[in-house]
Amino acid sequence: MSRIAYVNGQYVQHSEAAVHIEDRGYQFADGVYEVCEVWNNQIVDMPRHLDRLGRSLSELSIDWPMSRPAVEFVLRQVVRRNKVRNGLVYIQVTRGVSKRDHFFPPANVAPSIVVTARSSNPAAVNAQAEAGISVFSYPENRWPRVDIKTVALLPNVLAKQSAKERGGKEAWYVDADGNVTEGGSTNAWIVTKDGKLITRPAESGILRGITRTAILDLVEREGLSFEERPFSLEEAYDAKEAFVTAATNIAMPVVRIDDKVIGNGHPGSVATRLRELFHTATDLKVV
């Protein structure tokens, strides 16, 4: 099936979708994005994703490209037009098209918006979760404002490629104090040997993941032992379980970190249970 994209007011063939060469997203990575899971013809946690999009835009002084209800409409339309039952819908907003200049463009330059959607194979993702993944540590080298979901992802690309070349699926950033911050495109979690769930606070140093927030709601609902605090790489090596969270994989068990087998080398019961229950703790918007 031919894919459809939304680009600055028009639905176009994905193969023909394009933005101007002087779009500031291309020139300066001057833009932000969001990715929502599509599950059983429903967009998962769209209000939270758009809340975070609004915050990212505000932090960079970029205007909404259209009203929020209009953005919601476009997201639904792109999912429908691509007949995505299970997959992802992606939205990117940049500061717009203007001559290349580090200063912001004139006030009459409108932000650019692109929305795409694609299907995924739930069976393949579930099979990966049943086996678990490997992650590799990587020195934290990003700018401090990782709380803004910008399209400036080159450090993440390099970290994840480094992990891939060593046989891993994700990289875990480690700060100067030896603590894990987050993954290249995920939030990081461990379960201690006494059964306590640990993840780093989102006040600074990490992105406040929407999937992370839903998992925290689920943890509270299920009465699991939990602590929001930094954890070291050494503590992660010694953990009973580890996993990562993101819209692209929900809760993905980690069975190896660097050369260390985690727990018994198989996906743990906590991560597996959170994965099973995840959509019961989310806001589902029918497409």
CA atoms within 13 A on the CB side of 31: 23
Q: Please, what are the domains in the chain?
A: 4-120 (3.30.470.10), 125-280 (3.20.10.10)
The model's confidence at residue 2, banded by pLDDT at 50, 70 and 90, is confident
149 is an active site residue: yes
Burial profile 157-169: b = 16 or more Cβ within 10 angstroms, e = fewer:
eebbeebeeeebb
Among residues 83, 99, 149, 160, which one is catalytic? 149
Nearest by Cα to 253 from 171, 132, 168, 122: 132
Using alpha carbons, list the distances in angstroms from residue 34 to 8, 56, 151, 159: 16, 10, 10, 20
Sign of the Cα pseudo-torsion (89, 93, 98, 103, in order): negative
Q: Above 70 in pLDDT, residue 55?
A: yes
Residue 204: per-residue pLDDT: 87
For residue 1, pLDDT beyond 80? no
Residue 220 has pLDDT above 80, yes or no: yes
- Tokens standing for residue 113: 């918006």
How far are the Cα atoms of 43, 65, 92, 244 from residue 145, in angstroms, in the given order?
27, 22, 18, 21
Cβ atoms of 149 and 94 closer than 8 Å: no
pLDDT class of 189 with cuts at 50, 70, 90: very high
Residues 106-149 have pLDDT tens digits of 999 999 999 999 999 999 999 999 999 999 999 999 999 999 99
Report how far residue 112's alpha carbon sits from residue 6's, in angstroms, rounded to the nearest whole number: 11
Phi, psi of 244 (to 5 degrees): -125, 155
What is the reported pLDDT for 118?
A: 97
Tell me the per-residue pLDDT of 247-266, one tens digit each, with 9 for 90 and over: 999 999 999 999 999 999 99
| Average pLDDT over all residues of the chain | 97
The pLDDT assigned to 72 comes to: 98
Measured over all CA atoms, what is the biggest interatomic distance in the chain, rounded to whole angstroms? 59
Residue 78 has pLDDT above 90, yes or no: yes
- Residue 208's CB is within 10 A of a number of other CB atoms, namely 16
The tens digit of pLDDT for each residue in 79-103 reads 999 999 999 999 999 999 999 999 9
User: In angstroms, rounded to a whole number, what is the distance separating the alpha carbons of residues 31 and 149?
Assistant: 9
Looking at the predicted structure, is the pLDDT value of residue 236 above 80? yes
